[in-house]
Structure 1
Amino acid sequence: MNEAGAWTDERVELLKKLWSDGLSASQIAAELGNVTRNAVIGKVHRLGLSGRAKSAAQPAAPRNAAPRKAPTRSPSHPMASPVAHATRGANALAPNFAPEAEVEAAPLPSDDVVIPFSERVTIMDLREYMCRWPMGDPTSPDFRFCGARSQTGLPYCAHHSRIAYQPAADRRRDRSKARA
C-alpha cells in the first residue's frame, strides 16, 4: 500500500467504527480516501471483523421499488408449464422413482459360458466389431478377449452385455437385499 493509503492506527480505528456502523466496503473506502474497496475488505478480514450483522437502521429495501406489471399474455417458453418446474434448478437431478412393479427378470447367465479358445482373440487381433470381454489373467501369455460378434454400439457380445449392463431396477433390488 502506498504512503497516502497506509493503515495507520487512526485509519484502522475509523475503519472499525465505520464497519460496525454498517457501512459497505465501498463507502468505507470513499470515507477513508486513497484506499480501494478490496483493500478495505482485506483489512477487515485480517482484523477479524467480518461477521457483522446488518443494522436495524438500514431496512432491506428492494432495489426496484416500482410494482411489477402483470404479464399481458402467458409466456410461450416451454419451461413455463407447472410440470416442467420440477426439473429446473436444484430439483433437476433429484431422483424421481416410479413405484417398482414386480417384473420377472430373465435369469442372469452364468459366468461359466465356455468360449472355444480358437474363437478368442489377442489384443492385436481384436477388431471394432468383436467382443472386448477379457478372459483370463492379463499377465499370462494365454490372456485373450472373447472375440464373438459384438452388439451394435456396444463393446460386448449379447452374453457379456447381459453381465456388464444390469437393468437399474435389478441393481436397486440387489442393493436392498444387501442391506437386509
Structure 2
Amino acid sequence: MNEAGAWTEERVELLKKLWSDGLSASQIAAELGSVTRNAVIGKVHRLGLSGRAKSAAQPAAPRSNAPRKAPARSPSHPMAGAASAPTRGAHALAPDFAVEVESAVEASPLPSEDVVIPFSERVTIMDLREYMCRWPMGDPTTPEFRFCGARSQTGLPYCSHHARIAYQPAADRRRDRSKARA
C-alpha cells in the first residue's frame, strides 16, 4: 500500500470505531480517504472484526411469522389459455405430450431380467440411427459392445422396455432405496 493509504495506528483505530458504529466498507473507505473498499474489507478480516452494530440506514425490522402470500401472476404466454388458436413460431413443431396418470392398479412390475435381444439385431455406434434405442449392451471396452437398436419411443432415446428402466417415478426410486437399506 502506498504512503497515503498506509495503515497507521490512528487509521486502524478509526477503522475499528467506524466499523463498530455500523458504517459500510465503502463509507469507511470514503471517510479514511486514499483507501479502497476492498482494502477496508481485507483489513477488517485481518483484524478479526466481526461483530458490529446495524447501521442507521438499515434498521432491523421485526419479522412476522405469518406465511407470505404468493403474488398473483398473469399468464407467462398470452396464448396460454387459447387452446384453439394456431401455434406459431418455435413452438409450432414442438411435440404435445399428454400427461399420463398412472394408477397403482395398472402399474405392472418391472421384469427382473433384461429382455433378450438377439445379437444380430444389436447395432454398433456406426449403425445407430435416430429412431433406434440407444441402450448400451455389454462392456464398452470389448469389440462385442452394441446398442439395443430396437425402435425407440417418440421423443425418447430408448425403446419402451429400456425407457421403463431409465425413467422410473421418484416414488418408486425412493421405495427401492429403502428396500436396499433394510
TM range (shorter): 0.5 to 0.7
Q: May I ask how many residue pairs the two structures share in their alignment?
A: 146
**Residue-by-residue CA offset, 1:119-151 (whole Å, 9 max, x unaligned):** 122222121111222222323322222222111
1:77 and 2:79 aligned: no
Q: Counterpart amino acid of 2:73?
A: H
RMSD: 3.3
Amino acid at match of 1:140: T
Deviation at 1:106, TM superposition (A): 0.6
Q: CA deviation at 1:178?
A: 3.0
Residue 107 of structure 1: how far off its partner (Å): 2.3
Contact persistence 1:135–1:146 (CA under 8 A): yes
CA separation of 1:139 and 1:22: change in aligned 2, threshold 3 A: closer
Percent identity among equivalent residues? 87
Q: 1:102 deviation in Å? A: 4.3
CA deviations over 1:54-113 (Å, ceiling 9, x no partner):
48xx59548xxxxxxxxxxxx87338xxxxxxxxxxxxxxxxxxxxx7445212134243
1:30-45 equivalent positions in 2, closer than 5 A? 30-45=30-45
**Matching residue within 136, 143, 148 for 1:141:** 143
Larger radius of gyration: 1
Q: CA deviation at 1:176?
A: 3.2
Structure 1: 5+ residue runs without aligned partners?
63-74, 80-100
- The answer to whether the 8 Å contact 1:109/1:159 transfers is no
Which residue identity lines up with residue 32 of structure 1 in the other structure? L
Report the CA distance shift for 1:47/1:126 in structure 2 as closer, same or farther (over 3 A).
same
Structure 2 match to 1:85:
none
Runs of at least 5 residues in structure 2 that lack an aligned partner in the other structure: 61-70, 76-102
Partner secondary structure for residue 175 of structure 2: helix
The aligned amino acid for 2:13 is E
> For residue 125 of structure 2, what is the aligned residue in structure 1?
123
Which position in structure 1 is the counterpart of 2:174?
172
Counterpart CA distance in 1 for 2:72 and 2:139 is 60
Secondary structure at the aligned position of 1:78 is classed as coil
